[in-house]
Structure 1
Amino acid sequence: MGNDRERNVALEHKVEPLQDRFGRVARKLRVSVTDRCNFRCDFCMPVKPVWLPKSEILTYEEIARIARILARMGVTKIRLSGGEPLMRRDLDILVAMLREIPEVRTIAMTTNGFYLAEMAERLKRAGLDSVTVSLHSLKPERYDEVVGRKGVFERVMEGLKVAQEVGLNPVKVNVVMLRGCNDDEISDFVELARKSNLTVRFIEYMPFDGRKFWRPELLVPGEEVVRTIESVHPLVPMPREQGSTARVYRFADGIGGEIGIITSMTSPFCGDCDRIRLTADGKIVPCMFSRDEYDVKSLLRSGATDEEIASFIRDAFYRKFAGVESLLREHKTIAYVRPMYQLGG
């Protein structure tokens, strides 16, 4: 009964949905809880990353306050990311705080998996629903080379196993495809999906590596991945959820998990994008392909009311960039935008 009353009160005070100038409505919040990471994937970071001072990082209370404000404007799904989110101490405390927001239906996390085995149960108890693990090779030596650390592959695989055992659902794997690096492992990842009941998502390489110029020669188009898979295992497309970043397929023979294809570059999905991002240092980022960002932390720390913060966010989101599609139409290619570790994906 108490939860029902809280939900009714929240709905009574709910304001108009958060909408941009193109009519897109925000339903999902991506929160970077830290810019720090213990891996050094070169498609995510520059050679020498510069970390934010800890005093500039939002507190859990500040993150939860922004989440509550956004929830009243229609945001129902939250994903925590980084950097590496599990480098932030006691992340389960933040999860529990977010779980108390009546309008929030799902809380997910994207992680490199290094700390997942030891944290999965705590996170699940706190209210985490699902987890996505970035896993860019299934060959241990190659994996070490990609992430810039030695001897960590088995630890990450154990994290995936424990995540399933404690009941996080779904458990997904993200694979950034790179020409000449891991494009020979498509069939291996397909077998992982079939044998372990995981959702494996193949992601096109994007201009977020922190280098001056994007390297389009590294891109493996999603359609190529689909053709490669279907040459062995026929796929059946699933209905696309509005705002989804992935085209999802199941195997025609009904075995195993699912396959996701994220074509951010060759077939963008900007038209119904429903995401808004909050960086670790308190910047609202309406679109990851735009350099536009809006400092909400200064309002948080200067005594602004929830209404003032909501108005600020509404104005920032209204200006949301049309998307990567317009860049590709005008320029055919893209210079890098910002390092992914500063944004959180």
Structure 2
Amino acid sequence: MPDDIVLPDRATMTDPFGRDITYLRVSVTDRCDFRCTYCMSEQMTFLPKKDLLSLEELDRLCTVFIEKGVRKLRLTGGEPLVRKNIMHLIAQLGRHIEAGALEELTLTTNGSQLTRFAKDLHAAGVRRINVSLDTLDADKFKSITRWGDLKRVLDGIDAAQNAGLAIKINAVALKGFNEAEIPDMLRWAHGRDMDMTVIETMPMGEIDEDRTDRYLPLSLLRANLSREFTLTDIPFKTGGPARYVEIAETGGRLGFITPMTHNFCESCNRVRLTCTGTLYMCLGQDDAADLRDPLRASEGNELVGAAIDEAIGRKPKGHDFVIDRRTNRPAVSRHMSVTGG
């Protein structure tokens, strides 16, 4: 066992509503090589690099969370694999898998860098990843990502599967864009032994379009899918907020993430850490805790540990997202790429 890992007696962090916080999502960068229309403005202003935690600081913070009871760690962005030397951090975090302190190390990616990193991810202890993919039409893909190349993503998925990584496809359901395509995407994903999850668009950050034009309630999508497929609710969980069904015709699983029509707060076991060391206890609330200053104030972890405890002690019961034409401002001003998807 590596010398710098202290295995706790299954320590736990419990919020005011009795929920054990076991899942940490870490945005390692707010930068991305795509500019998806529902996520970012095309001319984004990114954080100055001097404001970012170093890879060593991210490793140290993650280790503190693991010692406090985090069992699942997901790296996000932006696009996590565009951060310089990111594999050094992932390899370092992999030691917690090897030691048994961490049950799962995973990431969410747009797939653009997987041909380069898939084998290294597997070697570091990653066994499962989420790939964000909203369409299999190359022209529509270019349109919604602005800068993306569908072939490069599909090649990355091939590379990841060949490296032994299990993949779940995440698709944001968008009215008038991909709603008619989702049945074919479902068949494609399940035909390649990949689960799929559909997600409602969320009102986070100013973008270049009106979200009401794209918002598709998943209750409506599910009703439409039920005309074509046999959907059976199942208790399957991955640690995240998705509620799953099994599709009889394909034998695969489909998840629904519904922050708008049916929020998932009652079982929330997650907190989110940004690349600047800000901890958000809820995706849909602005309340946050600064962990960068206490982290840097001492070589020991007592100060940052106390800051984490204080923050978990004020984790809210839930969020209240709204998308309608009377609500023209985003529910929270920060973009998803800052918080981590």
Q: Is the TM value for this pair above 0.5?
A: yes
* SS of the residue 2:311 aligns to: helix
Deviations 1:282-339 (A, max 9, x none): 10111110111211111222225312211101111211122125x66xxx96733121
1:300 aligned onto 2:300: no
Which whole-Å CA distance do the structure 2 matches of 1:62 and 1:271 have between them?
32
TM-superposed CA distance for 1:240, in Å, is 4.5
Pick aligned residue for 2:154 from 144, 153, 157: 157
> Could you say which residue in structure 2 is the equivalent of 1:224?
220
1:166 aligned onto 2:163: yes
Which whole-Å CA distance do the structure 1 matches of 2:181 and 2:165 have between them?
26
Residues 83/148 of structure 1: CA separation in 2 closer, same or farther (3 Å cut): same
> Could you say which residue in structure 1 is the equivalent of 2:232?
236
> Could you say which residue in structure 2 is the equivalent of 1:22?
17
Residues 34/6 of structure 1: CA separation in 2 closer, same or farther (3 Å cut): closer
* Unpaired runs of at least 5, structure 1: none
Contact 1:34/1:280 (<8 A) preserved: yes
Which whole-Å CA distance do the structure 2 matches of 1:267 and 1:147 have between them?
27
1:117 aligned onto 2:112: no
Alignment of 1:69-80 (within 5 A): 69-80=64-75
Which whole-Å CA distance do the structure 1 matches of 2:337 and 2:267 have between them?
25
> Could you say which residue in structure 2 is the equivalent of 1:311?
306
Alignment of 1:188-337 (within 5 A): 188-211=184-207, 215-241=211-237, 244-253=240-249, 255-303=250-298, 305-325=300-320, 335-337=330-332
Contact 2:38/2:209 (<8 A) preserved: no
Structure 1 length-normalised TM = 0.90
Pick aligned residue for 2:62 from 51, 64, 67: 67
* Unpaired runs of at least 5, structure 2: none
Which whole-Å CA distance do the structure 1 matches of 2:208 and 2:151 have between them?
33
Counting matched residue pairs gives 333
Structure 2 length-normalised TM = 0.91
Q: CA RMSD in A?
A: 2.3
Please tell me the residue identity of whatever aligns with 1:25. D
Please tell me the residue identity of whatever aligns with 1:238. I
Pick aligned residue for 2:26 from 11, 27, 31: 31
**Greater CA drift, 207-216 or 22-31:** 207-216
Residues 128/43 of structure 1: CA separation in 2 closer, same or farther (3 Å cut): same
Deviations 1:97-146 (A, max 9, x none): 11212311101110111111111011111111211111111110000000
Which whole-Å CA distance do the structure 1 matches of 2:210 and 2:315 have between them?
22
Which whole-Å CA distance do the structure 2 matches of 1:243 and 1:39 have between them?
27
Please tell me the residue identity of whatever aligns with 2:308. I
Name the % identity. Answer: 34
Residues 138/191 of structure 1: CA separation in 2 closer, same or farther (3 Å cut): same
> Could you say which residue in structure 1 is the equivalent of 2:129?
131
* SS of the residue 2:169 aligns to: strand
TM-superposed CA distance for 1:213, in Å, is 9.7
Deviations 1:188-209 (A, max 9, x none): 2111123111111110011124
Contact 1:173/1:199 (<8 A) preserved: yes
> Could you say which residue in structure 2 is the equivalent of 1:148?
146
Please tell me the residue identity of whatever aligns with 2:115. A
TM-superposed CA distance for 1:92, in Å, is 2.1
Which whole-Å CA distance do the structure 1 matches of 2:138 and 2:265 have between them?
35
Please tell me the residue identity of whatever aligns with 1:122. D
Which whole-Å CA distance do the structure 2 matches of 1:322 and 1:120 have between them?
37
TM-superposed CA distance for 1:55, in Å, is 1.7
Contact 1:206/1:214 (<8 A) preserved: no
Deviations 1:31-56 (A, max 9, x none): 00111111111211134321112121
Which whole-Å CA distance do the structure 2 matches of 1:241 and 1:188 have between them?
24
Please tell me the residue identity of whatever aligns with 1:159. G
TM-superposed CA distance for 1:6, in Å, is 8.8
Which whole-Å CA distance do the structure 1 matches of 2:299 and 2:210 have between them?
39
Deviations 1:130-182 (A, max 9, x none): 111111111100000000026x101101111111111112x011111111121
TM-superposed CA distance for 1:257, in Å, is 3.0
